[in-house]
């Protein structure tokens, strides 16, 4: 009789563990995070544990998912093991505290995350848009000797760091509409918000980009820019607050229309990190503000993409 009971318990535990793994598969809306005794809510991020071991995520239930890593379920430890190179939120072991058809709760990196299950995502209709191309090559930027003259290129730019900082410190936020063209996937759109933090007492400024996964503004730079020592940052923030270019060429002036009006822009073509192609429309009268940005990452499918940023709002 005792052996029969033990066998039944073993079968029940095995069945329960298998059922837990199957229940984890699906769409999970993050609702609360408890860390250091503090409860945070208002999250919109959706974690998607796919049946094939792929981990997807979306900014909200109405945003198109993107692949962020992989996942497996450790039956013995009752942990979800996630692997990702994109974000620490999608990497590491999560100890499952509770899971059923409606609720998932796990503990990871000292924080307890609670989710509710979604039957499906409420995705918006497909967007028809033409993917832009950047036809310039590195040779177009170099001089006749194959060299890049940084000082000569810099002298043609419409902004200096001091004018950028002085303009941005009078504003709270710069907002862009972003259209994302990933390789071999449907295009997606979202809003990117960059918050300007000017500390009058300390005489410093920094820029934080809003993270839809972390539901907060995150640092774009390790340290703020100090107003009394702007020369130190001149080269690092030539295209502040956007990505700095390793080599570039000012190709001319252009009038560009956005929802905010028509802006006279200086157009710049160049290469950033990992040889990514970038084209800027720098608003001449608004230092630090771009009317439009096109960023292209050439990589084997499906890792390449094109992003188009269009100025939406300046607060």
pLDDT value for 188: 82
Preceding peptide of 13 cis, ω within 30° = no
Of 56, 87, 118, the domain-final residue: 118
pLDDT value for 222: 56
Q: Within 10 Å of residue 216's Cβ, how many Cβ atoms?
A: 10
Pseudo-torsion of CA 184, 188, 191, 196, nearest 10°? 0
135 to each of 184, 274, 294, how far by Cα in Å?
21, 17, 12
pLDDT value for 306: 93
Structure tokens at 127: 């967007």
Tell me, yes or no, whether 17 lies in a domain.
no
Domain that holds residue 295: 138-314
Q: What does the alpha-carbon distance between residue 265 and residue 285 come to, in Å, rounded to a whole number?
A: 8
Q: Within 10 Å of residue 307's Cβ, how many Cβ atoms?
A: 20
pLDDT value for 213: 62
Q: How confident is the model over 184-239, as pLDDT tens digits? A: 777 888 888 888 888 888 888 888 887 766 667 766 555 788 888 888 877 766 67
Could you tell me if 158 and 294 lie in one domain? yes
pLDDT value for 314: 92
User: How many domains are there within the chain?
Assistant: 2
Could you tell me if 147 and 103 lie in one domain? no
Q: What is the C-alpha R_g of the chain?
A: 24
pLDDT value for 85: 85
Tell me, yes or no, whether 5 lies in a domain.
no
Using DSSP, state whether 166 is helix, strand or coil: helix
Q: Which CATH number belongs to the domain containing residue 57 in this structure?
A: 2.40.128.280
Q: Within 10 Å of residue 287's Cβ, how many Cβ atoms?
A: 19
Could you tell me if 112 and 217 lie in one domain? no
Using DSSP, state whether 268 is helix, strand or coil: strand
Preceding peptide of 145 cis, ω within 30° = no
Would strands 216-219 and 173-182 be described as parallel, antiparallel, or unpaired? unpaired
Would you give the distance in Å from CA 28 to the centre of its chain?
A: 20
Could you tell me if 177 and 102 lie in one domain? no
Q: How confident is the model over 134-170, as pLDDT tens digits? A: 999 999 999 888 899 988 888 999 998 889 888 998 9
Cβ neighbours of residue 309 closer than 8 Å, sequence gap 6 or more: 176, 177, 178, 192, 290, 292, 293, 294, 295
- pLDDT < 70: residue spans in the chain: 1-20, 127, 212-215, 218-222, 236-238
pLDDT value for 221: 56
């Amino acid at each position: 009789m005792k052996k029969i009971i033990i066998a039944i318990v073993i079968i029940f535990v095995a069945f329960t563990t298998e059922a837990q793994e199957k229940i984890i598969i699906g769409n999970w809306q993050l609702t609360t995070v408890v860390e250091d005794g503090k409860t945070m809510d208002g999250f919109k991020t959706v974690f998607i544990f796919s049946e094939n071991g792929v981990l997807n995520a979306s900014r909200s239930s109405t945003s198109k998912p993107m692949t962020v890593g992989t996942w497996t379920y450790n039956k013995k430890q009752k942990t979800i093991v996630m692997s990702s190179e994109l974000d620490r939120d999608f990497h590491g072991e999560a100890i499952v505290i509770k899971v059923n058809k409606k609720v998932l709760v796990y503990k990871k990196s000292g924080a307890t995350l609670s989710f509710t299950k979604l039957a499906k995502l409420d995705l918006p209709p497909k967007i028809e848009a033409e993917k832009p191309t950047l036809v310039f090559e590195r040779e177009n930027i170099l001089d006749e000797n194959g060299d890049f003259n940084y000082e000569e290129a810099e002298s043609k730019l419409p902004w200096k760091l001091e004018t950028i900082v002085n303009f941005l410190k009078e504003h709270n936020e710069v907002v862009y509409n972003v259209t994302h063209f990933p390789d071999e996937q449907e295009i997606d759109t979202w809003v990117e918000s960059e918050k300007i933090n000017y500390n009058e007492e300390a005489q410093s400024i920094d820029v934080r980009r809003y993270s839809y996964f972390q539901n907060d503004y995150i640092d774009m730079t390790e340290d703020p820019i100090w107003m009394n020592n702007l020369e130190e940052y001149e080269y690092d923030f030539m295209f502040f607050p956007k990505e700095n270019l390793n080599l570039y060429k000012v190709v001319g002036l252009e009038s560009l229309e956005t929802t905010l009006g028509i802006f006279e822009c200086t157009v710049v073509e160049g290469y950033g990190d990992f040889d990514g192609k970038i084209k800027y429309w720098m608003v001449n009268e608004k230092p630090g503000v771009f009317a439009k940005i096109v960023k292209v990452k050439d990589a084997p499918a499906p890792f390449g993409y094109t992003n188009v940023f269009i100025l939406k709002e300046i607060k």
